[in-house]
Amino acid sequence: MTRQLLAFTRKQLLQPRVVNLNHLIENMMKMLGRLIGEDILFDAVLAPTLGCVRADPGQVEQVLLNLVSNARDAMPGGGKLTIATRPLQVDENLTQGPPGARPGSYSVLQATDTGVGISPESLPHIFEPFYTTKEVGKGTGLATVQGIVTQSGGFIDVDSQVGAGTTVRVCLPQTQEVLPLPRSHHGTRIRTGQGTILVVEDDQAVRQLTRGVLETPGYAVLEATDSEQALALFREHRGTIQLLITDPVMPRLSGLQLVRQLLASHPGLEVLLISGYSDEMVSRQDGLEERVAFLPKPFTTATLTQKVREILEPASPQDGR
């Protein structure tokens, strides 16, 4: 809730860099497909030439995840979701773009679903921070998305019709900066992940996305919705789990209590805490700073993968990693 309020009030600490929306979407397609499920047809229509934007890639991934999760929840009986990109030019007369749009060149990230749609009564409220028509566990409205987009200098537009679906357009200003060239991997070995990881997360969307991120390089991933289920999985898979990934704040038995209990019985277990709080507030105050690793939210998929590699595959003097 704190992160959502910071986004809504545009007070988040962003780490912007040059981003190509097409590349970001392509890297997340496989994971998003798993999040959506098999009863929804998922497609991407990406503009072949699209200007780069300057934004925090972790926040843009959060925007995309929010849009996809909302679309999935709007199609409980199945349907179609299309993620698209396109350029947009808003002229001086503002003949295109919603109120608040400024003249300029934009790159548009668009999500279109064939779901239940949004009623005319609800549409004016969808950007309010605590407004939602969803049941508990099905997420919230678009306040967080709007906060991230606005803080990044863009704007958001929504069209919806009851029974006919919804289209959400996220418009980010283009930059003249050049996208950095990827690092050369010539002569290096492409490593695949090795090891079994248990992900404990009560948010289904975050849990499934994290699993998809880690399964892509080859890690074996188990899921638990709470600490009690995590303990049961440890008993079932005794001796095979190398890494525990959990949020410190969990219902009933907290993530920190889970970590303490498992480290007492499995002293060789690696632990990665993922939290929106600082590491000082989480691990140091609980006396765990020497026994756990920490990754602050929000983070990119690449950052998560790299952190897990550092824990499970530490660098050796021979390979120079």
Dump pLDDT digits (tens) for 125-135: 888 765 555 55
Asked which of 87-96, 171-180, 237-246 is least confident by mean pLDDT, the reply is 87-96
* pLDDT greater at residue 193 or residue 73: 73
Please determine, for residue 122, whether its predicted confidence score (pLDDT) is greater than 60. Answer: yes
Domain 196-312, CATH number (from 3.30.1490.20, 3.80.10.10, 3.40.50.2300, 3.40.50.720): 3.40.50.2300
Average pLDDT over residues 200-226: 84
Average pLDDT over residues 8-16: 56
* Architecture in CATH for domain 2-173: 2-Layer Sandwich (3.30)
Please determine, for residue 304, whether its predicted confidence score (pLDDT) is greater than 50. Answer: yes
Please determine, for residue 157, whether its predicted confidence score (pLDDT) is greater than 70. Answer: yes
Q: What pLDDT digit, counting tens, does each position of 39-70 carry?
A: 899 999 999 888 899 998 888 988 998 899 89
**Is 62 in contact with 117 (CB distance < 8 Å)?**
no
Please determine, for residue 247, whether its predicted confidence score (pLDDT) is greater than 90. Answer: no
Read off the tokens for 247.
Answer: 């949020």
Asked if residue 298 has a cis previous peptide bond (ω within 30° of 0), the answer is: yes
Please determine, for residue 79, whether its predicted confidence score (pLDDT) is greater than 70. Answer: yes
Q: What pLDDT digit, counting tens, does each position of 248-298 carry?
A: 877 778 888 898 899 888 888 999 988 766 555 555 555 666 778 888 776
Residues 6 or more apart whose Cβ sits within 8 Å of residue 262: 230, 231, 234, 244, 269, 271
**Is 220 in contact with 195 (CB distance < 8 Å)?**
yes
How many C-beta atoms surround the C-beta of residue 52 within 10 A?
20
Cα dist from 159 to 38, 98, 122, 168, 278, whole Å = 26, 11, 12, 7, 38
Residue 8: band (very low, low, confident or very high) from pLDDT cuts 50, 70, 90 = very low
Domain ranges across the chain: 2-173, 196-312
- The amino acid present at 27, given as its one-letter code, is N
* DSSP-based three-state secondary structure for 277: coil
Residues 6 or more apart whose Cβ sits within 8 Å of residue 80: 40, 41, 42, 43, 113, 114
Give pLDDT, residue 128.
Answer: 77
Residue 71: band (very low, low, confident or very high) from pLDDT cuts 50, 70, 90 = very high
Please determine, for residue 26, whether its predicted confidence score (pLDDT) is greater than 70. Answer: yes
